[in-house]
Amino acid sequence: MRSGENLREEERTVAWFYRVLRYNVIDFYRRQATARKMLDIYSAEDPSGTMPRCVNVWLPC
């Protein structure tokens, strides 16, 4: 019975790891999309193309 319990524990750990990984990947792409939208909006408002330093800090390249 002990090895069966260990196997279940390992399966739960692997499932938990992939769930956390999946959510982090989703969050990464959501942040990128948001940053692109902010950049597009700011670019449309500022035809000179120069962005203040504070905006550059918020928007990763």
Q: What is the pLDDT of residue 23?
A: 97
Helix (H, G, I), strand (E, B) or coil at 61: coil
Residue 17: domain span: 2-58
SS3 50: coil
- DSSP element (H, E) containing 43: helix 2-45
Instruction: Give the pLDDT confidence score for residue 18 in this predicted structure.
Output: 96
Instruction: List per-residue pLDDT tens for the chain, 61 residues long.
Output: 466 678 788 899 999 999 999 999 999 999 999 888 887 777 766 666 566 656 555 555 5
**What confidence score (pLDDT) does residue 60 get?**
56
**Cα–Cα distance for residue pair 2/6, rounded to 1 Å:** 6
Confidence (pTM): 0.56
For 1, the 3-state DSSP assignment is coil
Q: What is the pLDDT of residue 13?
A: 93
